[in-house]
Chain A
């Protein structure tokens, strides 16, 4: 112990001798009175560090467990349809006969899969041009007060709960579609129109980020070459931001694909292959929300719903994967 103390003293003396600019920490320390305990024990900062690390690690472990549990649970129940109830997976994907209560021969989700994709793609297709136009206005043409106003309007649209969209759709869009296009007013078209408003802010704000990420130099060089503003936008900005715009659209599609409540209220919930845009249909999510409470845990109808949930989970993974793929490419 004494030797160690001596060593330490030597080190300190040496340090003080070599020191060119007097260090704050060394001020109170001289070879005679060294608080060995303080120097050898972990400092307060180190303890804080450990605490912080521990807490964040704990939070991460908890979240990790949660994710594993969710995927495991959905997977277990979703796959039970195929392993326990012996439903043919191709029949599940390609048959349109959906009546799980009648037995494993009647579990075909094709109608819902097609409808889900139809509303998602249509909503994204309608929303994208508007989103790009709004984003261009906010970044290229206007950047002061009016852009800020638009920004807050978009943020407001994100904040409106989906049940409100659904309710508005049920009261306003359904009768309007019925009067203009015929049918009952429930169907893919109505759901698409609602989803259009719901995904618009998502796509817009991400597209704004995409345009803002285009370097100023590009615009300036384009202007120096004598291009008009429109030419710059069309040939330079849009082209440079292409990958990020794709990402924005995919995020919007992911939102549309997973939306349940608003769609369920407007689409009519008939598990039929849609034959036109105003015939009632059902999406994966709308079928889940309207049926979950009516099935008994562990029976085929319940497992079949879990399979739909698994399909949704897989699709959202695919969307995420696409985003990464595009991110890597650019």
Chain B
């Protein structure tokens, strides 16, 4: 009798995955995959949305901008989130995708406190990251070698930074870290380091935020493009979104989310912007 039970148990275990897969597809669900920078905002928005619309089923996953774009292009998910324009990614046909820009996030260069530099010109910043300037003394700081901590190749933050600051030049080959938190930790503890992180992570006394051309890295300088280092957070759908997805995106773009949740997480509302920037980095004033 005992043997028989073991057999039954084995049978149940073998077939359980099939049942579970079958069950989860009963409800219409929106799967959102991609940018880890946008993940906290969408997750929170998804939870709030679910409270108001109990029949909704929103699943949010990270994985990176590249994953988001390729998954949505393949039709595997309803929404792919990205920190970069689909146009800039090889292998993605942006004509098949619909772009919804839902928030703005600023990027700020940070350095170790011990370098005694608070401001850099745009050119100096570019020279540091291309390896031309190798010592903090050359930019008015302490006599200390510069250690560049780069972001992972192809990540949204790095793509934005290199497009806007390096203007197509190759960054020096150096350490790469892929998360804002790790970068912050390394920069705060390693003498002579410089890197860049997104605004929501930068409010930390142990690191030195660096102004560019004496413009301070604060949210209020972004809408006018006075602080030039910022990027859009995109939600991409394949073709036109279906009804449920369209409703959720509309909710993310609504005043409730944009006025409350977006600033709370440290982003800038898309409605505050006084300029737009296209995928070629051309900036136009709204209304012109």
A: which residues have CB within 8 A of B?
48, 51-52, 55, 58-59, 62, 99, 101, 170, 174-175, 178, 184-186, 265, 268-272, 280, 282, 290-302
CB-nearest residue of chain B to A59: B14
Say yes or no: A291-B91 contact (C-beta < 8 A), given A48-B7, A58-B14, A184-B193: no
Contact yes or no, B182 A293, CB < 8 A: no
Q: CB-CB contacts of B38-78 with A at 8 A, as 1s and 0s?
A: 00000000000000000000000011111101110010000
| Cross-chain contact A293 with B67 (CB below 8 angstroms) | yes
B3 at the binding interface (Cβ < 8 Å): yes
Cβ of B33 to closest chain A Cβ, rounded Å? 10
The verdict on B221 contacting chain A, using a C-beta distance below 8 Å, is no
Q: Are A290 and B178 in contact (CB under 8 A)?
A: yes
B10 contacts which chain A residues (CB < 8 A)? Answer: 55, 59
* Total residues of chain B contacting the partner, CB 8 A: 39
Can you list 21 residue pairs at the A/B interface with Cβ under 8 Å? A48-B3, A55-B11, A59-B10, A99-B153, A174-B189, A178-B190, A184-B190, A269-B178, A270-B176, A271-B173, A291-B154, A292-B64, A293-B63, A293-B178, A295-B66, A296-B92, A297-B71, A297-B91, A299-B90, A301-B154, A302-B66
A186 contacts across to B, CB distance below 8 A:
175, 186
B175–A295 CB distance below 8 A:
no
Q: Does B242 contact A (CB under 8 A)?
A: no
Shortest beta-carbon distance from B147 to chain A in Å: 6
Decide yes or no whether B185 CB sits under 8 A from chain A.
yes
Return B168 CB to nearest CB of chain A, in Å.
12
Interchain CB contact under 8 A, A290 and B65: no
Nearest B residue to A62 via CB reads B14
Residues of B within 8 A of A301 (CB): 90, 153-154
Q: How far is the CA of A301 from the CA of B92 in the complex (A)?
A: 13
- Convert B121-156 into 0s and 1s, putting 1 for each residue whose CB lies closer than 8 angstroms to a CB of A: 000000000000000000000000001000011110
A300 contact set on B, CB distance < 8 A: 90
9 nearest A-B residue pairs (beta carbon):
A293-B64, A294-B154, A299-B91, A297-B70, A296-B91, A269-B176, A268-B175, A280-B175, A296-B70
Tell me the bound Cα distance from A265 to B178 in angstroms: 10
Contact A294 B64 (CB under 8 A): yes
> Does B177 belong to the interface (CB within 8 Å)?
yes
Q: Shortest CB–CB separation between residue A270 and chain B, in angstroms? A: 5
Query: Nearest residue in B to A186 (C-beta to C-beta)?
Result: B175
Q: Is the interface of B mostly helix, strand, loop or mixed?
A: mixed
Residues of B within 8 Å of A52, CB to CB, are 3, 7
Complex CA distance for A186 and B189, rounded to whole angstroms: 12
Which residues of chain B from 172 to 222 have a CB within 8 Å of any chain A CB? 173-178, 182, 185-186, 189-190, 193
CA distance A55 to B64 in the complex (A): 40
Assembly CA distance A220 to B174 (angstroms): 59
Alpha-carbon separation in the docked complex, A269 to B147 (Å): 14
Decide if A270 touches B7 in the complex (CB within 8 Å).
no
Nearest CB in chain B: distance from A128 CB, A: 30
Whether the Cβ atoms of A270 and B66 lie closer than 8 Å is no
B4 interfacial by beta-carbon distance below 8 Å: yes
